[in-house]
Amino acid sequence: MPDIMTPESLRKQSRLPSSPLAKLSLSHTDDPVIPALEDYDIHPVHGFLPADPPPLQRLPEYFEPWEKILDDLSPLLIAGALRKAVKQLPVLATDVLSTKREWQRAYLVLSFIGQGYVWGKNEDVAEVLPVALARPWYDVAQYLGLKPVITYAAVELYNYRLLDTNGPWDLSNFAVMNTFTGPDEAWFYLISIATESAGAPALPAIVACLHAVVKQDLPALVANLKIVAEAIEDITKVMVRMYEKNDPHIFYHRVRPYLAGWEHSSELPDGLFYEGVLPARETLKSPSEHCPIYGVKGVYANKFDCPYPVQDSVENLATVFAGIKIEGTYRKYAGASAGQSSLIHSLDVALGILHHPTKSTKTSPPLSPTEPHANGKSSKPPINHIHEMRKYMPGPHREFIYALERAPSIRDFVNELVNTPSYDPALSDEVSRMYNRCVEGMRAFRDRHLQVVATYIVVQARKKKEVGHLDVPQASQSLRVQQSLQARGTGGTDLIPFLKQSRDETSEARVQLDI
């Protein structure tokens, strides 16, 4: 069995095992080509859901200290004992992980434990993530092309199993392996898992559409656009089943807090301090950004209050724990969001649906000391929140989306058909109408999604929440509970304006037909 990592061996571990991302980034940078699903870890039948083999349900024996905490995650949270258990963990070596499914399982396990540690159960937030959790979480995320924060991949893609391995891939046969709170949370995850499954046929159909565009094969284009349209309609049918077994009050007040990140957190204004994770030096651009007062976006080196002795450094902080220096950095990440679904991004890109930087509806305070007010306006350019969510996808899936952007444009081809009389008018009309059916399906999907968000977040945010116990003074109750009444996405956006903009942008992709 491999040795437990020590601070000395942790410092000497210079790099991770070779990540599959390195090969991907080199093999798809030449002339525009049509991507092949197998090059991007996409199953031809089940899409972005890991299959053949399915997600691992338990790590090898060496990682039992992690798995045992996950086994008791909910009881530990209720007892207020999770943080104590995490602080007793040894630092385990991630290079022991050997298969893709082991890396994915490790990411799931560390994500659940990490989020539970940070947010607790009606407790004040934990600002420092211990090295035994922070370092392996960061390393595993780096290997998978993800971020060391809970993501859609952790709670959906890597978190499902089949009740009957020979049964259907739908809600009648899916189960989740882990939750923070129980059945309502499980149903929330299951809806997205079933959505991924229902939308999976669209992915090979998209690739076939691209080949049909290159070959100008209109019958094949119609047939595959029809598959895409039906898949979009199917995912909408799945999504509206959210109401069946997920209570909005339970979701908003008990589940959602654990899915939050620390990019725009009032409780973690500098982000979360990851012990054992060094600064990303390549992001440092000027001497001022080395300063422990100002820091950099995403990687901070600010003072913080903790029970350990603290030594200031120009480039980072060093905490002295058991006589050994443990360096680390503040980092800011968004939380888990349905906006991180590679399926929805793939459909948007394939159909030529363009999303623009989010329009701000109100003035926000500066997010860091380097972002001063200027007549009430931010000095930073507007953010394309949809594109930002790609950073939180598994690396190969993100690369697939970029490959689709470089591929031939289905929408441009359909527009050309509409405006070129040399093509068969009847067949051209059929292609354009089927393409518009796909776009209208995406618009309908976003309409329904907006309604779900209104029910589960906006309406709940407007309700008065009774917090704590009557005998406990409000001042001593968790700041997070007191400040939970805000209708923002776990990805950090003002939800309704953002979702309406995304829906309206979807409609703009329709091609105009002569009637």
The phi, psi pair for 162, rounded to 5°, reads -100, 130
Number of other residues whose CB lies within 10 A of the CB of residue 368? 18
Question: Does the CA dihedral 427-428-432-433 come out positive or negative?
Answer: negative
C-alpha closest to that of 395 among 8, 31, 39:
39
8 A C-beta contact, residue 174 and residue 128: no
Strand partners, 300: 330
Q: What's the rounded Cα separation, in Å, for the pair 262 and 127?
A: 10
The phi, psi pair for 350, rounded to 5°, reads -60, -35
**Quick one: tokens of 110?**
């560390």
CA 432 to chain centre: 33
240: exposed, middle or buried (Cβ count in 10 Å: 0-12, 13-18, 19+)? middle
CA triple 157-163-167, angle to 5 deg: 95
Helices 395-406, 20-27: inter-axial angle, 10-degree rounding: 10
Tokens 């509806």: give the residue: 361
Binding-site members for heme b are 449
Binding-site members are 449
8 A C-beta contact, residue 330 and residue 262: no
Give the 3-state secondary structure of residue 338: helix
C-alpha closest to that of 105 among 71, 139, 57:
57
The number of residues in the chain equals: 515
